[in-house]
Structure formats: C-alpha cells, structure tokens
Amino acid sequence: MSNPFDKEEKRFSIITPVYKDAWRTFDMFFKCLSESDYKAFEVIISFDGKNTRGENELAKYIKKYPDMDIKSCTQEWGGAPKARNAGAKIATGDYLTFLDPDVYLYTDTLRTWANAFGPNTDVVWGFYDMMMGG
C-alpha cells in the first residue's frame, strides 16, 4: 500500500506506560514493532514509578534493536494516564498512539493508520492484538 503523504512519511510516537512487571511483555512488543513495514516511528516507554528492573530490561532491547528509536522516561507513580502524559511530553512524532506493552501491532498497522489520516481525520484505531495470560 502506498504512503498517502506527498514527500515524507509522517512519524508516529508510540507511547507505552509500564507499571511494575509489565516489562515482561517487551520481547513480543518490540519484535512486532521491528517487523513493521512502516519505519517512521519512535517508541517511548514511560515507567509509572521507579522500575530499575524494567529499565535494565529496556536497555537490552535498545541494544537488540539499534535502528529503532527507543526512548524512556520515569515519573513518580500516578497511574497510566500520568505515564502516558509524561511520554507525550517528550514525543516528537506527528501522531501519538498509546499502546500498553501487551498490545502487538500487525506488520501493516502503522501504514494502514498513516493511510487513513487525512484532512478530516483526527483519530484512527485498530489492527492489533492483545495477548492475555502468561
């Protein structure tokens, strides 16, 4: 599917709040993102409260996927909305998307979303799976 934008792809900021041990889903989360056919995105992991283990695990994925733009921030615990807002403050993308770390995008999701945006479209939603259980 072709890109709808004239000269450059619009950039997505994928903002992911992480609380306690939610980092355990990073493996599949980052694997799916690495397989995306739309590469104009950044990932912002926003830790909801101090999370040394999560930060250490994230460092492994930053090394594993050196071509992926991965950032992080940590703020005092305040719930997922506060973590999302903290991530949004450092986002540099044209579009924001908020995904929990157990949400896995299909390969063509970001391209489909990019193609759906237009002058009269403010929100696009869909094309991902959420894995339940262990």
Domain coordinates in residue numbering, the chain: 12-116
The residue-averaged pLDDT of 99-125 equals 84
How far is it, in rounded angstroms, from Cα 124 to Cα 49? 29
Q: Which of 92, 130, 91 is nearest to 109 (CA)?
A: 130
Question: Over 60: is that where the pLDDT of 36 sits?
Answer: yes
Q: What integer pLDDT is reported at residue 91 of this predicted model? A: 97
Q: What percent of the chain has pLDDT over 70?
A: 85
Q: What integer pLDDT is reported at residue 5 of this predicted model? A: 45
Question: Over 80: is that where the pLDDT of 121 sits?
Answer: no
- Predicted TM-score (pTM) of the model is 0.86
Q: Please indicate whether residue 103 or residue 57 has the higher confidence score (pLDDT).
A: 57
Tokens of residue 47, six digits: 């830790």
CATH superfamily, region 12-116: Spore Coat Polysaccharide Biosynthesis Protein SpsA; Chain A (3.90.550.10)
Beta pairing class for 95-98 and 12-18 = parallel
Q: Which of 130, 128, 125, 131 is nearest to 105 (CA)?
A: 128
How far is it, in rounded angstroms, from Cα 114 to Cα 109? 9
